[in-house]
Amino acid sequence: MKKTAEMVIIGGGISGLSTAFNLASRGMKDIVLLEKGFLMSGSTGRCGAGVRMQWGTEMNCALSKATCEIFENINEILDFEGDTEFEQGGYLLMAITEKEEEQFKKNIELQHSLGIPSELLTPQEALDIVPDLNIEGIRSCAFCAKDGHANPFRTMQAYAEAAQRHGVEIYTYTEATGIDVVDGKVKGVETNRGYISTDKILIAAGAWSQHVGELAGVKVPVRPERHEILVTEPVNRKLEPMIMSFAGNIYLQQEPGGEFIMGFGPEPHESYSTLSTWEFVEEMCKKAYHYLPYLKNIRIVRQWAGLYEMSPDAQPILGKAEEVEGIYLATGFSGHGFMFGPITGQLMAEYILGLPTTLPIDKLDVGRFDRGELIFEPAVV
Ligand SMILES: Cc1cc2nc3c(=O)[nH]c(=O)nc-3n(C[C@H](O)[C@H](O)[C@H](O)COP(=O)(O)OP(=O)(O)OC[C@H]3O[C@@H](n4cnc5c(N)ncnc54)[C@H](O)[C@@H]3O)c2cc1C
């Protein structure tokens, strides 16, 4: 294991790996990435891997448009011999309440002003896209054909291989157990396998970011929240887009291999538990059958749970820590970190290298919580 590094990245999920690749491909040498388990053992390996451009704030629309453009070319950008399986089947967002319908209209106006090709559909028009959809109670739908889905395992493999080709050293089963700070500056990282001297650390530790921050005396306001998900046996392809309802609290899609994957947001509850529950299956099935009655005849093959890394306003935290020089943060994605992973890596690399960032990230700094400048995003499950 290296004894010194220019940069140590803590976290082997998509945020850490994407930043590692983007830094190394821009010329930074001596990057070490630490992962306490195996790559993707955090949330990235447990996610639904949906990617959408339909957001309700200018910042999230811009981030997601930029990230989609990377996903569209990701195999080439990462020189990946496999396929990350990015498919653009669209997202169909169902408005159930009048308030939601009004919000969708505003979101679409904003999205159009930023070049996102979304549209508002009547329930009848939505049937052209999802013929078996139960439209009872649906007022209208927002649809963007360029939203989609990728294979999270292959995406991670692509980033990890590309980062390694550019010289990044990835140490799995290597936990950061201490951060050495002298006179307010980072000096090194203690791990269960030895000490690494460095003056730059990126905390990309997902739901564990708060604990990693505490190692350096840095406040990272991120708390874990368990989210469950399940997958069915594969069947013939019937559903192209992801269907989602914020008020109905559900997301559901069919994977390229034919499996349906689905989940819903639980009552907010801080927990590191990743246990699965029977209650989730019961509730999930009721919700899913309601929208797609044909699912009744399809068997569930697996359920699991993972952690959302919740920030106080459910928006990412990007930038640097305030208390200690040399600590950078890429965390708090609050359940949307897979889709933001490619653009996060690019923006964080630009920021760390002192380059102008492709998109402004100053409003996403950790200081916004103390300043009371929280960001309100209306388009979340
Ligand atoms: C059920 C579910 C569905 C989801 N669906 C979607 C979706 O459809 N679209 C979407 O965009 N997002 C989705 N997400 C959210 C997404 O998975 C996360 O936002 C994203 O994966 C975060 O990536 P990350 O790299 O920041 O964190 P993680 O993937 O959690 O990686 C952090 C890593 O840090 C490691 N680590 C922690 N502490 C230490 C330490 N001290 N030393 C070394 N390593 C350490 C952990 O082991 C972990 O592997 C979903 C999440 C869940 C749980």
pLDDT tens digits for 292-328?
999 998 999 999 999 999 999 999 999 999 999 999 9
Distance (angstroms) between ligand 1 centre and the Cα of 285 equals: 25
Instruction: Give the position, in ligand 1's atom list, of the atom nearest the Cα of 15.
Output: 25
Residues contacting residue 286 through CB under 8 Å, at least 6 positions apart: none
In single-letter form, the type of residue at position 311 comes to S
Q: Given this model, what pLDDT does residue 381 score?
A: 62
Is 162 in contact with 91 (CB distance < 8 Å)? no
What's the 42 CA to ligand 1 centre distance in angstroms? 5
Residue 202, pLDDT score:
99
Q: 261 forms bridges with which residues in the sheet?
A: 231, 253
CA dist 199 and 171 (Å) reads 18
Pairing of strands 317-320, 327-331: antiparallel
DSSP annotation string for 24-78: HHTT---EEEE-SSSTTTTGGGGS--EE----SSHHHHHHHHHHHHHHHTHHHHT
Ligand 1 mutation target, pool 1, 41, 43, most atoms within 8 A of CB: 43
Residue whose token pair is 């916004």: 368
Q: Ligand 1 pocket test: pick from 307, 338, 364 the residue with the most ligand atoms within 8 Å of its Cβ.
A: 338
Please give the distance, rounded to the nearest whole angstrom, from the Cα atom of residue 283 to the centre of ligand 1: 24
CA of residue 28 to ligand 1 center, whole Å: 24
pLDDT value of position 5:
98
Structure token pair of residue 241: 């887009």
CATH numbers and ranges of domains, the chain? 7-47+153-222+313-371 (3.50.50.60), 87-147+224-309 (3.30.9.10)
Helices and strands, counts by H and E, the chain: 10, 19
pLDDT for 127 equals 98
Helix (H, G, I), strand (E, B) or coil at 218: coil
Q: Which two tokens stand for residue 147?
A: 């939203």
pTM of the model: 0.97
What are all long-range contacts of 360-363, with beta carbons under 8 Å and residues at least 24 apart? 361/318, 361/319, 362/319, 363/59
Instruction: Return the ligand 1 atom nearest residue 251 CA.
Output: 8
| Unique residue bearing structure tokens 């910042």 | 59
Query: Tens digits of per-residue pLDDT, 136-187?
Result: 999 999 999 999 999 999 999 999 999 999 999 999 999 999 999 999 999 9
Contact 98, 184 (CB under 8 A): no
Closest of 361, 346, 34, 27 to residue 198, by C-alpha: 34
Contacts of 371 (CB under 8 A, 6+ apart): none
**Strand-strand pairing, 223-232 and 50-51:** unpaired
Mutate-to-test residue for ligand 1 from 1, 44, 156, 381, highest number of ligand atoms within 8 A of CB: 44
Determine the distance separating the centroid of ligand 1 and the alpha carbon of 305, expressed in angstroms. Answer: 12
Q: Ligand 1 pocket: which residues have CB below 6 Å?
A: 10-16, 34-37, 41-44, 46-50, 175-176, 204-208, 212, 227, 229, 263, 306-309, 331, 333, 335-339
Token pair for residue 295? 């699912």
Identify whether the C-beta of residue 102 lies closer than 8 Å to the C-beta of residue 370.
no
Per-residue confidence (pLDDT) for residue 268, from 0 to 100: 86
Residue 185: phi and psi, rounded to 5, are -125, 145
Distance (Å, whole) CA 184 – CA 236: 58
Q: How many CA atoms lie within 13 A of 357 on its CB side?
A: 20
Distance 271 CA to ligand 1 centre (A): 14
Distance from the alpha carbon of residue 207 to the mean position of ligand 1, in angstroms: 7
Atom of ligand 1 nearest to the CA of 37: 47
Average pLDDT for runs of 10 along the chain of length 381: 98 98 98 98 97 96 97 98 97 96 96 98 98 97 98 97 98 98 98 98 98 98 98 97 96 96 93 96 97 95 97 96 98 97 98 98 97 88 62
Inter-axis angle of helices 14-25 and 337-352, to 10 degrees?
A: 40
Q: How far is the CA of 44 from the centre of ligand 1 (A)?
A: 4
Q: Which residue's C-alpha comes closest to atom 4 of ligand 1?
A: 47
Bridge partner residues of 244 (DSSP): 93, 251
SS3 121: strand
